[in-house]
Amino acid sequence: MPAPGDITLHDLTAGYERHPAVHHVSLRWPSGSLAAVVGPNGAGKSTLLKCVAGRLRPMHGRIDGVEPARVAYLPQVSEVDRSFPITVAELVGMGLWHELGPWRRPAAGQRARVAAAIAEVGLQGFERRTLETLSGGQFQRALFARLMLQDAPVVLLDEPFTGVDARTLEDLVCVLRRWHEQGRTVIAVLHDLALVRAVFPLTTLLARELVAHGPTAAVLTEPNLLRARQLQEAFDERAGPCELDAAEVGVTDGGHRPHA
């Protein structure tokens, strides 16, 4: 039995309406990894993360070591609805869903944990503010507090530092390092390679397929980054389904591998 949070992808292909966005990826994130996923725009990073989070079913292959109910997942901020009329305390309290279920109200001890998580991300005094009154950085801090309360062995973050200033970045990186020290598997999609080099020991480089995976310094080399750029540029957005997958699932509509 793998340790909780020891995640392996076996020949994973994922996409939309039978068109693979990322394909035939095999890799392992050992339990307790602090890992970055990088690659050009459209490389399939979010798609891969959604699959690991259990939000998207793989088209092919499988994922071992993840229990979707025990994953804390932060989608790209553009996918999060901020017009929802709830307060910061209510949003953060949603992190206790796995303990409370839909109907039970938080007990005093749980309310204290919500307050502690809000304080830990530096939002003390914002408890009663509604989400649309927060700045981008404050909203991102509130989302991190919610993740804290989920207390999950696996934390998945899709571009968690988009639009935050240097101070907020520093504070949120501290939260992320704490999760790592606590032995959680933390995987983040990122674009800032300097940040990846400084903070993340393990990196996955994607360009619709796996370009490299391993220690960050060995992955983020000029030849690997060049190859990722070339693969992405050669990709044909109008291509049909992946022929390897199509053959295995019995699809016969003449699909072909979607890059030159």
CB of 123 to ligand ATP, least distance (A): 27
Range in contact with ligand ATP (rule: CB under 6 A) among 37-45, 105-113, 194-202, 239-247: 37-45
Does residue number 258 form part of the binding site for ligand ATP (CB under 6 A)? no
Size of the site for ligand ATP (CB under 6 A): 10
> Could you say which of 46, 150, 185, 203 contacts ligand ATP (CB under 6 A)?
46
The residue type found at 163 is: G
Residue count of the chain, please give it: 260
Range in contact with ligand ATP (rule: CB under 6 A) among 35-43, 93-101, 108-116, 193-201: 35-43
Cβ closest to ligand ATP, residue 185 vs residue 232: 232
Does residue number 47 form part of the binding site for ligand ATP (CB under 6 A)? yes
Reference 206, options 8, 46, 32; nearest CA is: 46
CB of 240 to ligand ATP, least distance (A): 14
Does residue number 160 form part of the binding site for ligand ATP (CB under 6 A)? no
3-state secondary structure 185-212: EEEEECCCHHHHHHHCCEEEEECCCEEE
Does residue number 45 form part of the binding site for ligand ATP (CB under 6 A)? yes
Measured in degrees and rounded to the nearest 5, phi and psi for residue 78 equal -65, -20
Q: Are 57 and 20 in contact (CB under 8 A)?
A: no
Does residue number 78 form part of the binding site for ligand ATP (CB under 6 A)? no
Does residue number 43 form part of the binding site for ligand ATP (CB under 6 A)? yes
Q: Are 155 and 140 in contact (CB under 8 A)?
A: no
> Could you say which of 30, 42, 54, 240 contacts ligand ATP (CB under 6 A)?
42
Cβ closest to ligand ATP, residue 16 vs residue 97: 16
Q: Are 169 and 138 in contact (CB under 8 A)?
A: no
Dihedral sign from CA coordinates of 56, 72, 180, 39: positive
Strands 19-29 and 7-16: antiparallel
Does residue number 13 form part of the binding site for ligand ATP (CB under 6 A)? no
Cβ closest to ligand ATP, residue 63 vs residue 92: 63
Q: Are 35 and 42 in contact (CB under 8 A)?
A: no
If phi over 0 gives left and psi between -120 and 50 gives alpha, with beta otherwise, what is residue 195? alpha
Range in contact with ligand ATP (rule: CB under 6 A) among 44-52, 87-95, 133-141, 249-257: 44-52
Does residue number 122 form part of the binding site for ligand ATP (CB under 6 A)? no
Per CB under 6 A, residues contacting ligand ATP are 16, 21, 39, 41-47
